[in-house]
Amino acid sequence: MDNLKKKYSIVNSQSSIVRVGVFVCDCGSNIAGVVDVPAVVEYSKGLPGVVFADEGKWSCSVDALADMQESIKEQNLNRVVIASCTPRTHEPLFKQTVKEAGLNPYLLEFVSIREQVSWVHMGVPEEATQKAKDLVKMGVAKAILLEEGEEIRLPVGKDCLIIGGGMAGMSAALNIADQGFNAYLVEKSDALGGILNQVLTVTHDHIKMPAANIVKAKRELVDAHPNIHVYTNAEIASVEGYIGNYKVVLNANGDQADLNISTVIVATGMRQIEPEKGAFQYGNDPRVVTQLQLEGMLKRGELSDAKDVVIINCVGSKNEERGCCSIGCHVSVKNAQILKALNKDRNVHILYRDLSMVKNEQIHLQGAKGTGVKFIRFPDSRYPEVAQGEAGLSVNVHDILLGREIEIPADLIVLTVGFTGDETMDDVRGLLKVSANSEGFFQERHIKLGPLDFPADGVSLCGCAKNPKTLKESCEEGIGAAMRTSIPMKNGFIEADGIVAEIDLSLCNSCSICWKRCPYGAIKVGEDKRPEVIKALCKGCGLCAADCPKECITIVHYTDEQLLAQVEAALEENPDKKILGFVCHWCALGGVDMAGVSRLQYPTNGRLIRVMCSARVPIKLIERAYELGAGGVLVAGCEFPTCHYITGNYACESRIKRAKKKLAKKGYDADNLWLTWCSAADGPKFANVMRDMVKELGLSK
Amino acid sequence: MNDSILIIGAGIAGINAALNAAEYGNKVYLVDDTASIGGMMARLDKTFPTNDCSICIEAPEMYEVDNHPNIEILTNTEVRKVKKKEGGFNVKLVQKARFIDPEKCTGCGACIEACPVSIPDEMDGKISGLRKLVYMPFPQAVPNVAVIDPDCRYGNMRENGACVGGCVVDCSQCRECPIALCVKACIDEGKDAVRLWQSNKNLKLDVKSIIVATGIMDAKPPTGLHGYDVADNVITYTQFERLMNAGGPTEGHIIRPSDGKPAKKIAWLQCAGRGLDHGIPYCSKVCCMVATKQTIITKEHDASVETSVFYNDLKAYGKGFWAFYQKALENGVRYVRARPYDVFEDSETKNLTIRYEGLETGKLMEEEVELLVLSTGLVPSDRNKRLAKTLKIELDKFGYFKENDPLMAPLETGVDGIYLCGGATGPIDISESVVQATAASMRAVL
């Protein structure tokens, strides 16, 4: 594509003449009460490329939308600029409208003159009108360069690989298979059931069930299902590809299997952390065991004579390295009750720091207390000590309530230790290119709203591979993960917005940074080291573009030249009084909108350009704004750690540091470049930044 | 075949169930009895343990719901009758009048400006947030349509200066209103969307399955509990959440209700009211991390503010929770294992003196603070009882919905085709709600 030709002759990719239509909304008096809308319409008509401009009382009303479609057809418009409220709420509506008028929806540009102008500059109608004109001019400048886009589809089949045959994995497999899809269930050991195979009983509310019965019931369902293919003693040799297109090689029971896989569920579970040898005499004395060892002993009936049992909780947990083990309190109370039930004369002590029992688990706590289990709290900083004496073991503990040390004789000591991810986890991580946290568990896409996903499409996560969980929680996660992977399998494809990365290979030096940095696995590198964007997987954040040392990556619909056109339009007149702002769509623009909704009044100097992520802002555009004499430049992104694209704001932060150095080297005042992190709730912050910039940079007069 | 799904409750659980089922290809009716989707999460400032801004991450999902071709949002709507039939349910619902035509309203706010009466916003409690009688539930509300307080329309707000309600005939008799200022303001804007004469609407749906996602409520402390409702500067943890929210009534300034001055010394009392008569008998799971979040944010606003958390058992059970607690300690938050037994207000300064027994020392201690926050825990939604009856499913003894076989068939109820998720099942955090919602949607589409 010849960029220069495109820019100067205003000819689009279809080689037809660009015909821009501008629709300016009054929003009743919301906009028209402050901004001189007829003047903005007249002004628009004089802008290059514009062949039609109109005022609408309520552009989003059904009648106005019909009129707009009429105008698009009559005037043969091939670009549309809407100047009205905010794209965050109304862009989908207008996109749909132009689409129904036969225009590609990517040829629409949205200009916000309510939230960014009339609501925040109420007392200064002339300046507000001037700003509205500038924003429309910027919108038109970009619109001219817009190109048709399309949703990109990638076909997805109906074969799901589930790694891990514990309760989460089996739950996932059953739900996948019930839809008629194939579930390939891969288990490293010789039997399904996972860590539950090591457990004696499971309790929930008033229910108490032998773990073996639960595993058996689930296993029978799995075995009987024609769509579930179980591989035991299996290990994954290799995984190549991406959603809809995985080639997986397994070694199972000595045989090799080659599978074509559409989606993947990771359910690799967890393992108990072996206590340090010698800690609490573990390893020195066979009477010191872990909870899972105790469950094994109970299962085998090896526990006839222990009279004094001491359970020590939080062993190796809640310290500098590791957090709460999540399930230890529950497990210790459950097992204490079993010990009591087997022999009511047995003394059972639970030594604890905090009792982390919620809602119905409280029932068990009361039950344990009722059967005579003794609870002793020790201070966070003074763990009990275990001594081997002639008479046997004894535990010395500082009882907080008594305020002194006490000694408890013991012939069995049970350590409630923490858990970490399964030992296959590092291999799986490498095979699927997913990440883990410092405690050895997989890291989900978003801790709140993406709990079952990895960033890459088509790979889900569930159960104890994520964090220790109860049986019920693991099963829920397995079912949920089945849903997440079933959506593309049911639809037969995944679809991505047309806003995707594009790499100019003529400038690329094959450094592979883009491939490494992409959180979505959307860039692949071939044997020739040349990167290629898998468009259907790309989310369009621009993280790769931000980190590319050659600056040769651009984002469709937010191309460098489109953004440049906006910068130049914004700074054509009185640049020294203007603040050129780049705001991210998800949070910062939300903060801008919030300032608008709250009618916070701030100076009119800002000219904002929307980008999907703050990481998208290239240094060369900032430099260009300086060259053009901008009074100030602002980059605004999501507050840490919120980022719609996981770590875009971090990338932005380091890029702005580089930008500042570069600017200073060129003799510019790097202090005129501001960076702010603004949440979508924080209208006051955005308004304050505008006020502060105007004040500190002396832009008021 | 009818494959549509009814989701009752449009908080973060309902929203996620809806998005998953709709993406899967099923038609979804997402019902909420309030005027906007969003639920409790929309009222939060931040989410633990990452301090993600709550509305920043929820609003995009709300807009997605709004724009999804497979999802129909029914706000202000209650489920009245559910009849099981072959392969699904017949459902009767009532859409309560919002007195605004949602097709015409653009959320411009002209009516709100015109309304002469401000009343305390339920969302903010005693921290002095106000709303008009015609209002938006919150700035990012979906649908972005105003709603009129029924009290105004039924003439109950005349004493407060309401412009309507003094007529000889009821609003339902008229088809236009010459006196209501909101009606006039809307007509002046050229919209004419205010419909004071609007009445409730009956709806009927045929659905394949039902997901109950009615959520959870924060417990209101009884009068006198640690000085609540007696002393000015005792508030609940949800009120504090609004106080620290930049989008809240104080723009995020943490000030005292008594004098509007910044609170420089704040204490949190955990498990407030738990175990007492009429108190909550169980641990609500989230309050420890909520308090931890609130102290960290308070310190971020102003590092010189002294913050203390009086607690018994620290519940840091989830992923990243312990590190979050460590972060609070590093930021200078004080955690005191204590059993508070009394709170006194200084009649002049309106400061509060907490008397407590230090659990690690056994000593009786006193501490004076400027603002006291009660972590009162979570209780079942007050709609559960009626809904359980309508759906013919059971509640547990606390009032949460009961699963039939929680270990083998989680989230399924006694009625085939009705599933549970989120706060409907018990105290829960956001990510667990999302997990359950996703799982419930899987069961519901199968």
Condensed to tens digits (0 to 9), the pLDDT of residues A672-687 reads 999 999 988 889 999 9
pLDDT exceeds cutoff 90 at A671: yes
Out of A214, A441, A590, the one facing B408 most closely (by C-beta) is A214
Out of B61, B283, B408, the one facing A449 most closely (by C-beta) is B61
pLDDT band (50, 70, 90) for residue A6: very low
Distance CA A264, CA A261 (A): 8
CB atoms B317 and A356 under 8 Å:
yes
Q: Under DSSP, is residue B53 helix (H, G, I), strand (E, B) or coil?
A: strand
Integer angstrom CA distances of residue A357 from A68, A119, A333, A364, B284: 60, 50, 10, 9, 10
B439 domain residue, yes or no? yes
B196 domain residue, yes or no? no
Tell me the per-residue pLDDT of B320-355, one tens digit each, with 9 for 90 and over. 999 999 999 999 999 999 999 999 999 999 999 999
- From start to end of B134-242, where are the E strands? 134-135, 147-148, 201-207, 209-212, 216-218, 234-236
The Cβ of residue B178 has, within 10 Å, a number of other Cβ atoms equal to: 8
CB atoms A175 and B446 under 8 Å:
yes
pLDDT band (50, 70, 90) for residue B126: low
Share of chain A above pLDDT 70, in %: 97
CB atoms A641 and B50 under 8 Å:
yes
pLDDT for the residue numbered B49: 94
Burial tier of A92 (Cβ tally within 10 Å: 0-12, 13-18, 19+): middle
Q: Which residues of B touch A92 (CB under 8 A)?
A: 63, 67
From B232's Cα to the closest Cα of chain A, the distance in A is: 27
pLDDT band (50, 70, 90) for residue A28: confident
pLDDT for the residue numbered A600: 93
Dihedral sign (CA A394, A398, A400, A404): positive
Contacts 24+ apart (CB under 8 A), A74-78: A75/A19, A75/A21, A75/A51, A76/A19, A77/A19, A77/A20, A77/A21, A77/A51, A77/A52, A77/A103, A78/A12, A78/A16, A78/A18, A78/A19, A78/A20, A78/A103, A78/A107
Distance CA A470, CA A477 (A): 11
pLDDT for the residue numbered B1: 60
Q: Under DSSP, is residue A446 helix (H, G, I), strand (E, B) or coil?
A: strand
pLDDT exceeds cutoff 90 at A365: no
pLDDT for the residue numbered B125: 67
The overall average pLDDT reported for chain A is 92
B416 domain residue, yes or no? yes
pLDDT exceeds cutoff 70 at A1: no
pLDDT for the residue numbered A43: 97
B117 domain residue, yes or no? yes
pLDDT for the residue numbered A14: 47
From B64's Cα to the closest Cα of chain A, the distance in A is: 10
Out of A88, A477, A487, the one facing B63 most closely (by C-beta) is A88
From A49's Cα to the closest Cα of chain B, the distance in A is: 31
Tell me the per-residue pLDDT of A524-539, one tens digit each, with 9 for 90 and over. 998 888 999 998 889 9
Owning domain of residue B306: 219-378
Count: domains in chain B? 3
Distance CA A182, CA A259 (A): 11
Angle at B81 between CA B78 and CA B83, to 5 degrees: 140
Tell me the per-residue pLDDT of A372-399, one tens digit each, with 9 for 90 and over. 999 999 999 999 999 998 878 999 999 9
Angle at B67 between CA B62 and CA B68, to 5 degrees: 95
| pLDDT higher at B157 or B203 | B203
**β partners of residue B71:** B28
| pLDDT higher at A10 or A408 | A408
The secondary structure element, H or E, covering residue A206 is none
pLDDT for the residue numbered A10: 42
Angle between helices B12-24 and A471-491 (to 10 degrees): 40
pLDDT for the residue numbered A433: 85
| pLDDT higher at B139 or A104 | A104
Torsion angle, alpha carbons of A678, A683, A689, A692, to 10: -160
B256 shares its domain with B301: yes
pLDDT exceeds cutoff 80 at B117: yes
pLDDT for the residue numbered A641: 82
B153 shares its domain with B248: no
CB atoms A638 and B56 under 8 Å:
yes
B340 shares its domain with B264: yes
pLDDT exceeds cutoff 70 at A3: no
Task: Check whether the bond before B262 is cis (ω within 30° of 0).
Answer: no
The secondary structure element, H or E, covering residue B391 is helix B384-391
From A285's Cα to the closest Cα of chain B, the distance in A is: 31
Q: How many A×B Cβ pairs under 8 Å?
A: 243
| pLDDT higher at A6 or A81 | A81
CB atoms B430 and A448 under 8 Å:
yes
Average pLDDT over residues B426-432: 96
Distance CA A633, CA A675 (A): 9
Distance CA A477, CA A442 (A): 14
pLDDT exceeds cutoff 90 at A119: yes
Substitution target from B357, B430, B438 for chain A, most A beta carbons within 10 A: B438
Average pLDDT over residues B228-233: 94
The overall average pLDDT reported for chain B is 93
Substitution target from B20, B408, B420, B443 for chain A, most A beta carbons within 10 A: B408
pLDDT for the residue numbered A339: 95
Q: How many residues does chain B have?
A: 446
pLDDT for the residue numbered A579: 97
pLDDT for the residue numbered A303: 82
CB atoms B63 and A92 under 8 Å:
yes
B264 shares its domain with B363: yes
Residue with tokens 């359980």: B388
CB atoms A682 and B53 under 8 Å:
yes
B193 domain residue, yes or no? no
B291 domain residue, yes or no? yes
Average pLDDT over residues A263-271: 98
CB atoms A359 and B282 under 8 Å:
yes
CB atoms A60 and B317 under 8 Å:
no
- CATH classification at residue B277: 3.50.50.60
Tell me the per-residue pLDDT of A558-601, one tens digit each, with 9 for 90 and over. 999 999 999 999 999 999 999 999 999 999 999 999 899 888 99
pLDDT exceeds cutoff 90 at A647: no
From B442's Cα to the closest Cα of chain A, the distance in A is: 5
Question: Quick one: tokens of B350?
Answer: 């309106």
CB atoms B106 and A322 under 8 Å:
no
Give the distance from CA A46 to its chain's centroid. Answer: 44
List Cβ neighbours of B45 (8 Å cut-off, separation of 6 or more).
Answer: A681, B53, B54, B241, B242, B244, B245, B246, B247, B248, B252, B297
Lowest mean pLDDT among A282-286, B188-192, B240-244: B188-192
pLDDT band (50, 70, 90) for residue A645: confident
pLDDT exceeds cutoff 80 at A13: no
B328 shares its domain with B293: yes
Choosing from B348, B378, B408, the residue where a domain stops is B378
Backbone dihedral angles phi then psi of residue B63, each to the nearest 5 degrees: -65, -35
B83 shares its domain with B168: no
B100 domain residue, yes or no? no
B332 shares its domain with B239: yes
pLDDT band (50, 70, 90) for residue B108: confident
B134 shares its domain with B271: no
pLDDT exceeds cutoff 70 at A473: yes
Distance CA B164, CA B148 (A): 12
CB atoms B431 and A62 under 8 Å:
no
Q: Which residues of B touch A467 (CB under 8 A)?
A: 318-319
Give the distance from CA A73 to its chain's centroid. Answer: 41
B195 domain residue, yes or no? no
Out of A28, A491, A638, the one facing B25 most closely (by C-beta) is A491
pLDDT exceeds cutoff 80 at B21: yes
Give the distance from CA A426 to its chain's centroid. Answer: 21
Question: Quick one: tokens of B378?
Answer: 């979570």
Domains and CATH numbers, chain A: 1-149 (3.40.50), 159-271+421-493 (3.50.50.60), 281-417 (3.50.50.60), 499-539 (no CATH), 558-701 (3.40.50)
Choosing from B356, B378, B400, the residue where a domain stops is B378
Of B235, B244, B218, the C-alpha closest to B46 is: B244
Dihedral sign (CA B427, B429, B430, B432): negative
B172 shares its domain with B247: no
Whether residue A459 contacts residue A239, with contact meaning beta carbons closer than 8 Å, is answered with no
**β partners of residue A558:** A555
CB atoms A324 and B20 under 8 Å:
no
B116 shares its domain with B79: no
Distance CA A60, CA A671 (A): 41
Question: Quick one: tokens of A406?
Answer: 């006490």
Out of A362, A477, A483, the one facing B282 most closely (by C-beta) is A362
Tell me the per-residue pLDDT of A282-326, one tens digit each, with 9 for 90 and over. 999 999 999 999 999 999 988 868 899 999 999 999 999 899 999
CB atoms B315 and A358 under 8 Å:
yes
Of A620, A567, A569, A600, the C-alpha closest to A690 is: A600
Angle between helices A588-597 and B54-67 (to 10 degrees): 80
CB atoms A217 and B408 under 8 Å:
yes
Whether residue A250 contacts residue A159, with contact meaning beta carbons closer than 8 Å, is answered with no
Could you give the residue ranges of the DSSP H alpha helices within A82-153?
87-100, 125-145
pLDDT exceeds cutoff 60 at A9: no
Whether residue B147 contacts residue B135, with contact meaning beta carbons closer than 8 Å, is answered with yes
Residue with tokens 């925040």: A120
Out of B53, B313, B442, the one facing A587 most closely (by C-beta) is B53
Residue with tokens 């059953």: A174
pLDDT band (50, 70, 90) for residue A701: low
pLDDT for the residue numbered A12: 44
The secondary structure element, H or E, covering residue A182 is strand A182-186
pLDDT band (50, 70, 90) for residue B248: confident
Distance CA A324, CA A330 (A): 12
B235 shares its domain with B371: yes
CB atoms B442 and A356 under 8 Å:
no
ipTM, two decimals: 0.96
B341 shares its domain with B406: no
pLDDT for the residue numbered A366: 85
From B349's Cα to the closest Cα of chain A, the distance in A is: 30
Average pLDDT over residues A498-504: 91
